[in-house]
């Protein structure tokens, strides 16, 4: 048939003329392209700002910046709103933006890119997302998270994070060129600090308490609350060191804990209603997959009120060194 004639002709031409093993790979090697990836980018402007900063640093270091081209890969799960992300990109690609952009759908716990194809990978506040809530965690009555829970629940979370981080590092070890880097900033906790004092811990406790109230009112079952566990774990610096050592293909070039919100002072406060709005945007989907939508609506409405009442406690928690950064270099 004629349609197949077209296809056959095109394919014959490729088969005859395209020299995959020869000059193609040699030619592409001469390209002076720096490839960056932001994993778990979501749709927000924070990602674009950090990419802009990163490119600036690399250009500053490199004396002949005019020769360099940058390609940036924005990754998140296929459920992310890439349409919104793409609409928010500066334009044009070859002018003001300063880099070529691409979106990559998929989980960063697995491979996303060809081997040795990335120079710098960054994750801002995405390394704490687990691939799933810990499988078969011990009973976690009246809670939706490990903060304040039994040691066995904490261990189940820690084990899940370690497993996820192992797969993350194995995938990145394949994708990042030798000498390339992985930059991570995200939630953490200092050794010895009780998890219940984490700002997220306080908030998740409030969520659980609202859900239990709704269970008492018969809107949901208490067992549904017990069975629901948020797939979020704030790793300790020691967890990170252990994972990197186990993987064996990266060196830790820098690592530390700090205060994520130094701008929070006696005179500057957080609008907790607005804060709860952001939390809702990020987390609503997880609740909606377990609870009816009217229950989730009530949950976040009540959470906004409760967070406002606890604003001092929340702000105090944010003054601790609960943010970790680390820089890995591919051996």
d(CA 316, CA 199): 8
How far from each other are the two terminal CA atoms of the chain, in whole angstroms? 54
Residues 172-211 vs a second copy: string with x where CB under 8 A?
Answer: -----xxxxx-x-x--------------------------
**Is residue 34 a contact residue for a second copy (CB under 8 A)?**
yes
Q: Which DSSP category does 129 fall into? A: B
Q: Classify the phi-psi angles of 4: left when phi > 0, otherwise alpha if psi is within -120 to 50, otherwise beta.
A: alpha
Give, as ranges, the residues between 36 and 65 that touch a second copy (CB under 8 A): 53-54, 57-58, 60-62
Question: Closest approach of Cβ 269 to a second copy, in Å?
Answer: 17
Question: Closest approach of Cβ 285 to a second copy, in Å?
Answer: 14
Query: Residues 227, 230, 236, CA angle at the centre, nearest 5°?
Result: 125
When the beta carbons of 101 and 208 are compared against a second copy, the nearer one is 101
# chain residues binding a second copy, by CB under 8 A: 91
When the beta carbons of 27 and 217 are compared against a second copy, the nearer one is 27
Please tell me the total number of residues recorded for the chain in this structure. 331
- Using the contact rule CB under 8 A, the part of the chain among 3-11, 196-204, 286-294, 302-310 near a second copy is 3-11
Give, as ranges, the residues between 207 and 266 that touch a second copy (CB under 8 A): 253-254, 256, 258-263
Q: To 10 degrees, the CA torsion angle through 89, 92, 95, 97?
A: 0
When the beta carbons of 3 and 45 are compared against a second copy, the nearer one is 3
Question: Closest approach of Cβ 221 to a second copy, in Å?
Answer: 32
Question: Closest approach of Cβ 107 to a second copy, in Å?
Answer: 9
Give, as ranges, the residues between 111 and 150 that touch a second copy (CB under 8 A): 111-117, 119-120
Q: Are 284 and 300 in contact (CB under 8 A)?
A: yes
**Is residue 73 a contact residue for a second copy (CB under 8 A)?**
yes
Q: Are 309 and 276 in contact (CB under 8 A)?
A: no
Which residues share a beta bridge with 108? none
When the beta carbons of 193 and 329 are compared against a second copy, the nearer one is 329
Give, as ranges, the residues between 294 and 323 that touch a second copy (CB under 8 A): 323
Contacts 24+ apart (CB under 8 A), 178-181: 178/116, 178/330, 178/331, 179/329, 179/330, 180/118, 180/119, 180/120, 180/121, 180/329, 180/330, 181/119, 181/120, 181/121, 181/253, 181/327, 181/328, 181/329, 181/330
Give, as ranges, the residues between 85 and 104 that touch a second copy (CB under 8 A): 86-87, 89, 92-94, 100-104
When the beta carbons of 48 and 120 are compared against a second copy, the nearer one is 120
- Using the contact rule CB under 8 A, the part of the chain among 76-84, 234-242, 281-289, 293-301 near a second copy is 76-84
Question: Closest approach of Cβ 279 to a second copy, in Å?
Answer: 20
**Is residue 268 a contact residue for a second copy (CB under 8 A)?**
no
When the beta carbons of 131 and 308 are compared against a second copy, the nearer one is 131
d(CA 250, CA 214): 47
When the beta carbons of 86 and 221 are compared against a second copy, the nearer one is 86
Residues contacting residue 270 through CB under 8 Å, at least 6 positions apart: 264, 311, 314, 315, 318
- Using the contact rule CB under 8 A, the part of the chain among 171-179, 188-196, 227-235, 291-299 near a second copy is 171-179
């Amino acid at each position: 048939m004629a349609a197949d004639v077209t296809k056959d002709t095109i394919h014959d031409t490729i088969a005859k003329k395209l020299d995959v093993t020869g000059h193609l790979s040699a030619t592409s090697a001469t390209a002076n392209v720096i490839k960056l990836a932001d994993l778990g980018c979501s749709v927000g402007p924070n990602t674009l700002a950090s990419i802009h900063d990163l490119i600036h640093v690399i250009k500053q270091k490199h004396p002949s910046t005019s020769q360099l081209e940058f390609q940036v890969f924005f990754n998140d799960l296929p459920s992310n709103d890439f349409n919104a992300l793409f609409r928010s990109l500066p334009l044009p690609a070859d002018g003001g933006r300063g880099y070529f952009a691409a979106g990559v759908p998929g989980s960063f716990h697995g491979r996303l890119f060809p081997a040795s194809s990335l120079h710098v990978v960054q994750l801002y506040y995405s390394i704490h997302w687990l691939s799933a809530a810990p499988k078969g965690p011990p009973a976690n009555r009246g809670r939706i998270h490990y903060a304040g829970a039994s040691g066995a629940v904490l261990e189940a979370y820690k084990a899940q994070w370690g497993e996820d981080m192992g797969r993350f590092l194995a995938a990145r070890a394949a994708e990042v060129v030798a000498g390339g880097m992985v930059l991570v900033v995200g939630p953490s906790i200092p050794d010895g600090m009780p998890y219940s004092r984490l700002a997220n811990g306080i908030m998740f406790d409030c969520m659980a308490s609202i859900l239990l109230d709704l269970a008492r009112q018969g809107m949901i079952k208490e067992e549904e609350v017990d069975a629901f566990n948020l797939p979020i774990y704030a790793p300790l610096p020691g967890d990170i060191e252990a994972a990197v050592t186990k993987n064996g293909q990266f060196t830790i070039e820098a690592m530390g804990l700090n205060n994520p919100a130094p701008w929070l002072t006696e005179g500057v406060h957080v609008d907790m209603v607005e804060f709860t709005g952001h939390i809702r945007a990020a987390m609503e989907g997880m609740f909606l997959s377990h609870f009816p939508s009217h229950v989730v609506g009530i949950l976040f409405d009540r959470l906004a009120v409760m967070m406002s009442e606890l604003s001092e406690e929340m702000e105090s928690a944010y003054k601790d060194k609960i943010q970790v950064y680390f820089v890995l270099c591919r051996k």
